Amino acid sequence: MSPLRPALIAAALILGTATPVQAAPGPEITVQNGRTQPVFSYADAIREHVYVESTVDSDADGRLDRVRVDIIRPKESGPGLKVPVVIDESPYYDNSGRGNEGERKVYDDAGNVVKFPLFYDNYFVPRGYAVLNVDMLGTTRSDGCPDIGGKADVLGGKAVIDWLNGRAKAYRADGSPAVADWTTGKSAMIGKSYDGTLANAVAATGVRGLETIVPISAISSWYKYQRSNGVVYNYDYASWLANYVDTDPEAKCQAVRDRMDAEDGDDTGDHNAFWAERDYIHGLLGDVSKVRASVFVAHTVNDLNVKPDNFSEWWEALAKRGVPRKIWVGQTGHVDPFDFEGRRGLWVDTLHRWFDHWLHGVRNGIMNEPRADVEVAPAQWITERDWPSPRGLKLTLRPSADGSLRLLPGKKATASFTDVRMAEPDMVSDVGTAKPGRIAYTTGELPLDLRLSGTPVADLRVRLDRPTANLTALLVDFGDDTRVDWRRGGGITTLTEEDCWGESTAADDGCYRKVVTNTVDRPLEIVARGWIDVQNRLSLSRPTPLPVGTYGSVKWETLPQDYVFKKGHRIGLVIAGTDATYSNETGTGANVTVDLSRSSITFPVVLGTPLESVPQDKARFVGPREVTLPEPEREFSFF
């Protein structure tokens, strides 16, 4: 008999009953309509922090780096009620902040976070999740130095997953051990930009316990983030970004930044071991073949920060491996889907159902729905079986000596320009007028709508009078239209009115300002862009100069797109030298001669216009209109 039992019996006799009073049971995970329900108190949630020991010493101080992990979880969670975990690991918690409103962590006197950025904690903790805001190594309250996609970045995040599954150690602020006895070990990683990049990176290690990731506008290859086929976007970018996210004294991590500058290969633009370490598709630290997690990708085709080839090639590689996946493809710039106009409620609900399915095992049918949500016009969306559209047909257009862009090759002819540094607006203006730094070609007016869905391929046969040149290929839509103005505010304007997602406290509300899509009436739109250093045409790591005066094939992919060329518009192809808008390269001065009859651009198109979208909370699928294929003579007539 336990020591307390006699006292309980005595008390019961005094009260005239032999039945002890039982404590009321606490709330449990509750599922209704395929969704976990908000049965746990957000205000009463446990807020704590631990330091997880990693396997790296990035600042070379002789001690393994520790990762700061801020935790909020239901009060009832513990050995008797284990909950899954949603993780947002970020380097931005004490500099730029998170989300459209730049939220930062706010701490109480005990060092625990009382304001967690974004809505994940407000929404998911009441529904039976723990939410972890993790400071990437080298940032905020973690040890170490930022590694900009490299070993420390990757293994720091992995250590947190390992700790949640009993494979790594963690400590409280007083040095006592911390055990995650309150979790099932199942976790998700989510985040935009660098945060989503860390999710991709950790998933590529194959770590067990990471069940799903939601990379938003995320990097899959740091080479592609800062290079395009040998063309450098920004010099010494890795060291600059490392210094930006690290709020420690500069001297602490100067040696790490110096090493980055020495190893990044900016002098050549070539791919090397530095970039291979920072590649999550075919990298040294991990690759797509090791991914165990399901993947819910969100990206936009006009994101010229984390350019869309970072999602398209990751997506394609995941598909080849049969990884369970879902995707949203928007038209704005570097914007979170939480801030897509008219889609906030659908995003939160879709994310909720995705996490419920993969972390709580709820059978809610989300994997039986169309895989892709695609924006085809400002704030107008359709759903499809996959992305790119599986209904796409390859269309090849060829430049001709008369300035036209045709389906069939023209007579043998050449055109020349000089590789000079030139901005995009100059490249696409006055296309009927000759310019020394570019050549330009257009179709006639289109007899029907054509939707580009996927990645165009430029295929040129060129001759140079120098060993190399930088080449730019632009696919352009000429025609007045109202388009997403992704250049202004990333394509959105933030309003003063708010809506709320989840529960709130005085210190941390779940309310955020609404947004609208920016639009603009323009006579043209650059639809797809692609760049290459000719000496990297055969290999990104082993440059091969083109023999002077000799023709050679230069074939490369532009950035992907999903865009509707409307009936009556004209499609244009502009070929130029060094791009001054997105590259810091200098022009080579080479004279570039293009063999027009053996050059082309090919891209996947869907014929016809998608039906106008209906409110997405009322319908989940909007299909394409059936379009009759034109007769061959009609097909040729507009080119």
Active-site residue list? 193, 303, 334
Q: Could you tell me which residues are beta bridge partners of residue 475?
A: 528, 573
Residue bearing tokens 């899959």: 220
Structure tokens at 391: 């209904």
Cα first-last separation, the chain: 93
Given a contact cutoff of 8 angstroms between Cβ atoms, the answer to whether 36 and 358 are in contact is: no
Angle at 207 between CA 227 and CA 167, to 5 degrees: 135
Say whether 335 sits in a helix, a strand or coil: coil
Given a contact cutoff of 8 angstroms between Cβ atoms, the answer to whether 428 and 524 are in contact is: yes
Structure tokens at 381: 């969306």
Say whether 20 sits in a helix, a strand or coil: coil
Structure tokens at 533: 């250093």
DSSP character string of 568-618: T-EEEEEEES-BTTT--PPP---EEEEEGGG-EEEEEEEESPBPPP--TTT
- As a whole number of angstroms, the distance between CA 50 and CA 178 comes to 7
Given a contact cutoff of 8 angstroms between Cβ atoms, the answer to whether 559 and 402 are in contact is: no
Q: Could you tell me which residues are beta bridge partners of residue 325?
A: 295
Q: Could you tell me which residues are beta bridge partners of residue 382?
A: 374
- As a whole number of angstroms, the distance between CA 351 and CA 396 comes to 38
Cα–Cα distance list, 367 to 37, 295, 352 (Å) = 20, 12, 13
In the 3-class helix/strand/coil scheme, how is 421-467 assigned residue by residue? CECHHHHHCCCCCCECCEEEEECCCCCCCEEEEECCEEEEEEEECCC
Q: What is the DSSP letter of 624?
A: B
β-strands 561-565, 414-418: how paired? Answer: unpaired
Q: Could you tell me which residues are beta bridge partners of residue 513?
A: 498
| Residue 378 backbone zone (phi > 0: left; psi -120 to 50: alpha; other: beta) | beta
Count CB-CB contacts under 10 A for residue 17. Answer: 10
Given a contact cutoff of 8 angstroms between Cβ atoms, the answer to whether 471 and 554 are in contact is: yes
Buried/exposed code over 410-448 (b: 16+ C-beta within 10 A; e: otherwise): beeebbebbbbbbebeebbeebeeebebbbbbbbeebeb
Find the length of the chain: 639
Least Cα distance to 191 among 141, 118, 283 occurs for: 118
Structure tokens at 81: 């009620």
Q: Dihedral through CA 219, CA 222, CA 227, CA 232, nearest 10?
A: 120
With a CB cutoff of 8 Å and minimum separation 6, the contacts of 613 are 376, 380, 381, 382, 622
Residue 496 sits at φ, ψ, to 5 deg, of -90, -25
Residue bearing tokens 């440059």: 543
Count CB-CB contacts under 10 A for residue 534. Answer: 28
**What's the distance, CA 623 to chain centroid?**
26
